Chain A
Amino acid sequence: MKSKPLDFLATGVAILLLWQGLCWLVGPDVISSPGDTLARAAMLVVTRAFWGHAEATLSAFALASLISIVGGVTIGLCLGLSRFAAEVADPILSTLYSIPKITLYPLILLAFGLGLSAKVAFGAIHGIFPVTIFTMNAIRNVAPVYHRTALMMRLPWYSRAARIMAPAALPEMLAGVRIGISLTLLGTLIGELFASTSGIGFALMRAMDIHAVVDILALTVLLFGFAIAVNAAFWLVERWVRHGS
């Protein structure tokens, strides 16, 4: 276990070397070198324009995440509690989850226009289905013996919900939320790429239009960093709920 930080360091170095090798192979017109890119990223994060875009993206992402989580958990709970409803909804939800939402961008644009609401809508349609599906299955998968024990103890519904159902279903629900949040970020960024006038996605689209390779890669590296941080935070919460507390 002691070697873990070392492993991460080695992986990081390996990725940088691979990147540099690729850069030498195909030339800086296609891939800028890691040194240039990271320098550019460091330069970007101190500019005011970058933080303006970051703020736009973050607020859209936060709003879309809120809709995905609250909507997904509410719908998932309602469906999970009724066997029949879950059976009716399951195939519909997995179909909606699996269709490539990017094809719907013209529809979203026409319905919401350019701007915040389109980005949020795009983020939410990416995130809400995994959250709903995982929540529904988490509730359905709670072992029947827990229900019966709770009934036997004559627990009122609120303690049954808080002390039996929540601890049993929470880990799986959190896994759904983690996946949903990742996809919400993807959706929000796609929305910004195609349907907005501000945000990191918009900055990326502009960099793509003028073929600023260093900018594209620098912004992508920053996005990856952010995505990894969000993911790691959720992993920690999930692990804490599973093992700790």
Chain B
Amino acid sequence: MKGRRPSLSRAAAARLVLILSFFVLLELLCRAGVIDRVTMIPPSEMVVALAHIIVSGEFNQDIVFTTANIAAAAALATVAGFFLGAALHAVPRVRRTVVPLLSAYYAVPTFVFYPLLLVAFGVGRTALIVMGALFGTVAMIVNTVLGLDHVPPAVARTGQMMRIDPLRQLLLVRLPSAAPHLVTGIKLAVSYSVIGIVAGEFILATAGLGKRIAFAYNNFDNKSMYGLLLLLLIGVMIVNGAMSAWERRLHRRFGQQ
């Protein structure tokens, strides 16, 4: 890498100024009426609405409902995706034909299957969790296959040499070595689970943040809607940031393979 790298703090400062000026501009446009209130309330009012939501505890049940569903779906997607990915990795011939198909998976909104899940599981959390898991699993499968590709042959052979059963070889020897890619897979599984579950809640649900947002939208209740949107986005960004930090740490540790 060549040369004079601008100091990180300068870039961070510039980034902060950029983001702040974006919100100030947005605030001014809203206040001046260029963006009317029916479309968007000023960012400052969104923050006030968010604070109100948190203090009043009005939506606490929905927050817990959605968070628990996302956690369950992501966990399901991670475990199922890992074992399916490992199975796929073990049979190169099947993998060669299936992996190209999987790359088209995320071009189609799989949550159109949600009504079918509603018939199978009824309206409630199960259908939502299965929906989220269905959306997240494929990302985990793809990244598991990639991760197992990156296990150095020496590590795989060490596992064989230990004469432990294949499952333990996979979990105790090859899994840690594939960890950086697996974390990428988990991160994506979480984001896709969020999409699946929020989409499901938009369409039909008894509770949850997606349902409340859709309800507020239908009733022109922009304060609640933008407050909840802000809450959801901030939550997603925090989780994502934490996962990215974990990912970077693992990549640094295993990076030199």
Contacts and interface: CB of A to CB of B under 8 A. Distances in A.
Given A88-B15, A211-B115, A26 B120 contact: yes
A interface residue count range (under 10 / 10 to 19 / 20 to 34 / 35 or more)? 35 or more
Interface in B96-110: 96-98, 100-101, 103-104, 106-109
Given A105-B202, A213-B116, A223 B108 contact: yes
A111 to B, nearest CB: 6
Contact of B109 (A91, A111, A186, A235): A186
Nearest to B236: A99
Contacts of A144: 1-2
Given A84-B11, A182-B107, 5 more contacts: A10-B97, A107-B40, A194-B202, A227-B104, A228-B100
B171 interface: no
Main secondary structure of the interface of B (DSSP, over half): helix
Nearest to A8: B97
A92 interface: yes
Contacts of A111: 39-40
B29 interface: no
Contacts of A11: 94, 97-98, 101
A49 interface: no
A183 B108 CA distance: 9
Interface of A: 3-4, 7-8, 10-11, 26, 29-31, 83-84, 87-89, 91-92, 94-95, 98-100, 102-107, 109-111, 144, 181-183, 185-186, 189-190, 193-194, 201, 204, 208, 211, 213, 216, 219-220, 223-224, 227-228, 230-232, 235
Interface of B: 1-2, 5-6, 8, 10-11, 14-15, 18-19, 38-40, 93-94, 96-98, 100-101, 103-104, 106-109, 112-117, 119-120, 191, 194-195, 198-199, 202-203, 210, 213-214, 217, 225, 229, 232-233, 236-237, 240-241, 244
Contacts of B237: 95, 98-99
A168 to B, nearest CB: 15
Contacts of B241: 95
Main secondary structure of the interface of A (DSSP, over half): helix
A104 B230 CA distance: 10
A211 B19 contact: no
10 contacts: A4-B96, A10-B97, A84-B6, A95-B237, A103-B198, A105-B202, A186-B107, A186-B108, A186-B109, A228-B104
